[in-house]
Amino acid sequence: MIRVFSLETSWQDVRYGVRLLRKNLGFTAVAVLTIALGIGANTAIFTLFDAILLESLPVREPSQLVLFSDATDEGTYTNSSPPVGQWGRFTAESYQFLKSQPLPFEGLCAFRSGTATVTVRMPGQKEDSQVRRAVAHLVSGNYFATLGVDVVFGRTLSDDDNRANAQPVAVVSNGYWRNHLHSNPSAVGQVAILNGLPVTIIGVAPPEFFGERVRQSPDFWLPFVFQPQIELRETYLERTDTYWLSLMGRLRHGASREQGREATTIALQQYLTSQSGTQLTHQRMQGIERTRVQLYDGGGGISGLRLQYSRPLHVLMVVVAMVLLIACANVGNLLITRAVARRAEISVRLILGASSGRLLRQLLTEGALLAVLGGCAGLLIAYWGTQGLVALINLGNSPMHPRLNPLVLTFTFGITIFTGIFFGLVARVTGP
């Protein structure tokens, strides 16, 4: 019975609040527009903030992934002696050594620091017999398994595919499969000629997967054992002075990033010690002791956009929060003026027996109505604002698409509730 009364009373508060807002359309329009601008600006910036800084790679449990370097630069460098200090890139031999050690990783994969442009010919298709260009990415055999990505057709790469004398195979991106292989499931098993190398297509990646770098997906993922044929240059596979691989690991459940860092640093120092052999001088030993690895959060992948826009977006979040506070203050002033005009009404209701709690609930309901109307209008402003910001900063071919997802809508709902409570309290404090 009490619950029915409460629901009926709440509905009465809503109807009474709607009547008041309709009765004062000028006040309502100004208040709603002011709130909408504040909420819309916050939502638009948070939408970009979420897409660029918070969104994770579309893989299994991205929070378990760690990067050995989050630097966005790419390429290869050579050193006659192993570098001292933090390692960001690795030789093929050092990667294989670390991979064989009992480290706290479910998987430890490697990928070429950069991509290669290749010529592609599909001899089995008449319309595709012409040569076209594509982008190939060289990775270790356990790359897809470590990231936790399956294929929509066929299979992923395996460690056996990355062995010497293995049959050349590749996984194609979903976009390449749709655009150039005509979304044909029988494309799995066909042979593509990449830079003169016959490569068998063994799988098609899912549409949302673009790799470890937040940018347009490569067209082919191949085992890095085929680096000489794909890059048309000398082999790096046996060279111990050429650093061309980046690493990513998946921590075991229960293992911390610090544990992974310590264990991998010890393993790397062991590798360098064994590699030095009879050349292990006191000076070299001191250098090995200063050699280390650093692990970074890999859930968001490697993103140049994140590096470029992290500070500006944090500043903008503070600025638009101030804008919302100013908007709330402006509407608060309007409510104070309106509350002064309603003092007689509120006094009469108190005299007739309305409790302070009942009155507060009515004022909170009116504030919530204003906030909800402003929030709905703010979503429209946020949508248009997000499109404008995306065009302004030019995300290019980034696979990140800022949108009003559940996290953004939750954020908008939260600030809407905040403004509604704020307005209701302002009205009550200024009352009699």
Q: Residue type for 222, please?
A: L
pLDDT at 7 over 60: no
Please name the residue that has the structure tokens 């696979």: 399
Reported confidence tier of residue 4, pLDDT bands at 50, 70, 90: very low
Look at strands 77-78 and 242-243 and give their pairing: antiparallel
What is the rounded CA–CA span in Å between residue 172 and residue 341?
A: 69
pLDDT tens profile 303-359: 888 888 888 888 988 888 888 778 777 777 776 666 666 565 656 665 665 556 666
Q: What is the pLDDT of residues 110-153, one digit of tens each?
A: 999 999 999 999 886 655 557 889 999 999 999 999 999 999 99
Whether the per-residue pLDDT at 428 is higher than 60: the answer is no
pLDDT-derived band of residue 57, with 50, 70 and 90 as boundaries? very high
CA atoms within 13 A on the CB side of 217: 22
Helices 304-341 and 343-351 sit at what angle, rounded to 10 degrees?
Answer: 70
C-alpha dihedral (59, 64, 69, 75), degrees to nearest 10: -30
| pLDDT 10s digits, 69-97 | 988 889 899 988 888 999 999 999 999 99
The answer to whether 291 touches 284, Cβ cutoff 8 Å, is no
Q: Distance between CA atoms of 187 and 278, rounded to whole angstroms?
A: 53
Look over the chain and give the mean of its residue pLDDT values, rounded to a whole number.
85
Per-residue pLDDT band for 302 (boundaries 50, 70, 90) equals: very high
Burial of 78 (0-12, 13-18, 19+ CB in 10 A): exposed
Residue 2 pLDDT: 40
Q: Position 166: which residue type?
A: A
- Asked if 77 and 321 touch (Cβ cutoff 8 Å), the reply is no
pLDDT band at 422 (very low <50, low <70, confident <90, very high): low
Determine the 3-state secondary structure of 56 from DSSP: coil
pLDDT at 338: 67
What the block records as the tokens of 398 is 């980034």
Mean pLDDT over 62-68 rounds to 97
For residues 386 and 44, give the distance between their C-alpha atoms in angstroms, rounded to a whole number.
Answer: 5
**390: phi then psi, degrees, rounded to nearest 5:** -60, -40
* Residue 367 contacts residue 420 (beta carbons within 8 Å): yes
Most confidently modeled range among 41-45, 237-241, 261-265, 408-412:
261-265
Greater confidence, 359 or 20?
20
Judged by average pLDDT, the poorest of 137-141, 148-152, 213-217, 413-417 is 413-417
pLDDT value at position 32? 84
pLDDT reported for residue 358:
62
264 compared with 421, residue with greater pLDDT: 264
The string of pLDDT tens digits covering residues 240-269 is 999 999 999 999 999 999 999 999 999 999
User: Exposed (0-12), middle (13-18) or buried (19+): which is 344, by Cβ within 10 Å?
Assistant: exposed
Q: What is the pLDDT of residue 408?
A: 78
Euclidean distance between CA atoms 330 and 103, whole angstroms:
58
Measured over the CA atoms of residue 392, residue 395, residue 397 and residue 401, the dihedral's sign is negative
Summarize pLDDT for 376-385 with one digit per residue, the tens: 888 888 888 8
Evaluate if pTM is beyond 0.95: no
101 Cβ contact partners less than 8 Å away, ≥ 6 residues apart: 263, 267, 270
Q: Which SS3 state, helix, strand or coil, does residue 243 take?
A: strand
How many CA atoms lie less than 13 Å away from 11 in the CB half-sphere? Answer: 6
CB 175 within 8 A of CB 217: yes
Confidence label for 170 from pLDDT (cuts 50, 70 and 90): very high
What per-residue confidence (pLDDT) applies to 1?
Answer: 38
Share of the chain above pLDDT 70, in %: 84
The sign of the dihedral angle between the CA atoms of 42, 52, 108, 294 is negative
pLDDT range class, residue 391, cuts 50, 70, 90: confident
